[in-house]
Amino acid sequence: MPHLIAPSILAADFGNLQRDVEMLNASNADWIHVDVMDGAFVPNISFGFPILNAVNKIATKPLDVHLMIEDPDRYIKAFAAAGAHNITVHYEACPNLHRTVQFIKEVGCTAGVALNPHTRVDLLKDIVADLDLVLIMSVNPGFGGQKFIENTYHKLHDIRSLSNVNNPNLLIEVDGGVDISNANKLINAGANLLVAGNSVFSSANPTDAIAQLKAVR
């Protein structure tokens, strides 16, 4: 399966958000990645339902909603209603992870689980068969523009090995410090869904930057 590209609108120009979403609509992007932060689970606050609703009215690509929040079960139904296609929660924020994953599916979304850089992949062995997506964080969550953590390649290999046995169709997403310099290595390590923020939106030509990431083999 060809890899997917999901530009993160956390790095977009919030003063020209409609322009940037329309650019993504016209680009080779496959999904639009939406980072939701609560200032508690991570030390930053980003957008919530009003912004997601606004983006959903403009976007023609599926919205990949990444909840970096405590107790995400409280809001899953509302994020689905606001237009989420995929909802990803953090392993570290969900003491009843299987129940949360089933809830995401019950509201009509595909279900993902994210792992922080320090969290071991093997902790997902009992639930990976039920997942649509695993997100490997290659930076500590909370802020864009951080330095890529090299151990990510080993974690991608580990989750790919786990999925080959238990869930061959699993989407393996990587988020943080992704750009044209490491995209090929990430794909070879097992990723098939790349989130790119600063490397797209700080580019002189974001559409070309997305096309280059999509063309990597």
Q: What are the residue ranges spanned by the domains of the chain?
A: 4-215
Active-site pick, 20, 38, 64, 175: 175
The stretch 46-71 carries a mean pLDDT of: 94
Instruction: Report the greatest alpha carbon distance in the chain.
Output: 45
Q: DSSP letters along 99-130, please?
A: HHHHHHHHTT-EEEEEE-TTS-GGGGTTTGGG
Catalytic, 126? Answer no
- Using the predicted structure, report yes or no on whether residue 90 has a pLDDT greater than 80: yes
Active-site pick, 35, 38, 64, 132: 35
**What span, in angstroms and rounded, lies between the C-alpha atoms of 216 and 149?**
21
pTM assigned to the model: 0.96
Measured CA angle at 157 (ends 154, 162), to 5 deg: 125
Contact 24, 62 (CB under 8 A): no
- Using the predicted structure, report yes or no on whether residue 4 has a pLDDT greater than 80: yes
- Using the predicted structure, report yes or no on whether residue 143 has a pLDDT greater than 70: no
- Using the predicted structure, report yes or no on whether residue 60 has a pLDDT greater than 80: yes
Superfamily the domain 4-215 falls into: Aldolase class I (3.20.20.70)
Catalytic, 38? Answer no
Alpha-helical segments (H) within the chain: 17-26, 49-58, 76-81, 97-106, 152-166, 183-189, 198-201, 206-215
